[in-house]
Structure 1
Amino acid sequence: MSGSCCENSCSAPGPEDSRFRKILWVALVLNGAMFFVEIVGGARAGSVSLLADAVDFLGDAANYAISLLVLSMGLLWRARAALVKGATMAVYGIAILGVAGWNAIQGQPPEPMTMGIIGTLALMVNVLVALLLYAFRSGDANMRSVWLCSRNDAIGNLAVLAAALGVLGTGSAWPDLLVAALMASLGLTSAVTVLRQARQELRQLDLNDRAAERAHHGSESREARG
């Protein structure tokens, strides 16, 4: 991995990178476990918002794995990884909107108690991960994408709990569907943010490379004239 590390603004991993790596491992394990809990619970309860959250847990686990892979690489590879994650977040948002639309046609309300119990567990996990990652919220596009995912997850879990109360009180599927649409919108908004920052970082790296190349050619020209 050190062989690819020296490309574009690479430095030896510091204490902050080491701490970030440990937190990512914790987040990866927790998100992987919660994916299985929510995919089973969401299917049994017939809840689109729980299924949406389960897919989000899976996507986050994959994103944490990618972040771990590129953490010791240069900014170029971290920005490229952020592009992949931003695109994944966008696909997730669009897919959930499609599932919510399909279930709106079906009109079958989910089981609210299962939604509430699993939603509470998911909230506890995501708040823990968000608190662990809070210190890295202003880092590069790769770090920021991780923080945005964890923040969105905690917001989404609060919305799932609100949906459970709404379904319980109304006996309708609409609270569940509205929350699923909200979670999809959060995913799309965050995707735009991550993609924009990653593209800016890639553009800046390209400008830096061009400036370095011009400086190198200028130095060679002066040596030739000398």
Structure 2
Amino acid sequence: MSDCGCDHEAKNAQERRILKIALALNAAMAVIGGIAGWIAQSTGLLADALDMLSDALAYTIGLVAIGRAARFKANAALLSGSVLLALGLGVLAEVGRRVVHGAEPASSWMIGTALLSLGVNVTVLRLLAPLKTGGVHLRATWLFTRADVVANLGVILAGGLVLWFHSPYPDFMIGTLIGLYVIKESFEILRDARRARLGAGT
């Protein structure tokens, strides 16, 4: 029997389905987290929301890259990493602004929203597990979500410390750490993308 490409089409269909679900969940949580972070005056929640937004972008790029050439996938991952780097630097700038001008983060909003985000990210991480050994653009989506789980746990801890010490500094600290972690992940994605481009002969 000749190869009809059915297995390849089925794999692409599975990838699209998973990425569409992940995109919808992350886009929703980016909006929810951003609103909650603004209301709660929390740099940690705002950083987490920006991280979720970057995930939504990564899933969008991943969807566009499915079925494309290796060079396109590498360029898609390069774009994802660059956007993530810019967002991470933006988070650090926002933390600095709030340290200078002051803020009163609401611990209950921080903990509640971060718990909701954690539930979403654990679900998405399980969905993405089969894709993490795929193309570089798919590995990027898995790395984004892994970073989110760590960030959610950090915001929950910071919310508890804000409540305990009646101080905004735990929130400033987690906002800074998330920003630095996002920057670290962006460099990892950019490194993978460059390797993929070399492998594709670009």
Into which bin does the TM-score normalised by the smaller protein fall? over 0.9
SS at match of 2:33: helix
- Map of 1:112-131 to 2, 5 A cutoff? 112-131=107-126
Q: Please state if 1:40 is matched with 2:35.
A: yes
SS at match of 1:206: coil
Aligned counterparts of 2:93 and 2:20: Cα–Cα separation in 1? 32
Instruction: Give the corresponding residue for 2:193.
Output: 198
Q: State TM-score, norm by structure 2.
A: 0.93
SS at match of 1:110: coil
Instruction: Give the corresponding residue for 2:131.
Output: 136
**By how many angstroms is 1:161 displaced?**
0.3
Aligned counterparts of 1:13 and 1:82: Cα–Cα separation in 2? 21
**By how many angstroms is 1:92 displaced?**
1.0
Instruction: Give the corresponding residue for 1:65.
Output: 60
Aligned counterparts of 1:75 and 1:146: Cα–Cα separation in 2? 16
Q: Give the length in aligned residue pairs.
A: 197
Question: Is the 1:109–1:167 contact (alpha carbons within 8 Å) kept by the matching residues of 2?
Answer: no
Question: Is the 1:12–1:72 contact (alpha carbons within 8 Å) kept by the matching residues of 2?
Answer: no
1:168-190: CA deviations, max 9, x gaps? Answer: 01111111111111111111111
Q: Please state if 1:146 is matched with 2:141.
A: yes
Aligned counterparts of 1:88 and 1:50: Cα–Cα separation in 2? 19
Aligned counterparts of 1:12 and 1:206: Cα–Cα separation in 2? 26
Aligned counterparts of 2:74 and 2:84: Cα–Cα separation in 1? 15
Q: State TM-score, norm by structure 1.
A: 0.83
Contiguous gaps of at least 5 residues in structure 2 = 1-5
Question: Is the 1:97–1:181 contact (alpha carbons within 8 Å) kept by the matching residues of 2?
Answer: yes
Aligned counterparts of 2:147 and 2:12: Cα–Cα separation in 1? 23
- Which of 154, 161, 168 is the matching residue for 2:163? 168
Q: Please state if 1:92 is matched with 2:87.
A: yes
**By how many angstroms is 1:56 displaced?**
1.5
Question: Is the 1:53–1:156 contact (alpha carbons within 8 Å) kept by the matching residues of 2?
Answer: yes
Highest relative contact order (Cα 8 Å, sep 6+), 1 or 2?
A: 2
**Equivalent position amino acid for 1:86 in 2:** G
Aligned counterparts of 1:107 and 1:122: Cα–Cα separation in 2? 26
Instruction: Give the corresponding residue for 2:106.
Output: 111
**Equivalent position amino acid for 1:133 in 2:** L
Aligned counterparts of 1:155 and 1:33: Cα–Cα separation in 2? 19
Instruction: Give the corresponding residue for 1:211.
Output: none
**By how many angstroms is 1:106 displaced?**
2.3
**By how many angstroms is 1:87 displaced?**
0.4
Contiguous gaps of at least 5 residues in structure 1 = 1-10, 208-226
1:30-55: CA deviations, max 9, x gaps? Answer: 11111121111111110011111111
Aligned counterparts of 2:113 and 2:179: Cα–Cα separation in 1? 19
**By how many angstroms is 1:12 displaced?**
8.0
**By how many angstroms is 1:71 displaced?**
0.9
Of the two, which has the highest radius of gyration? Answer: 1
State, as a whole percentage, how many aligned pairs show the same letter: 32
Query: How much is the aligned-residue C-alpha RMSD, in angstroms?
Result: 1.5
Question: Is the 1:109–1:171 contact (alpha carbons within 8 Å) kept by the matching residues of 2?
Answer: no
Aligned counterparts of 2:7 and 2:148: Cα–Cα separation in 1? 32
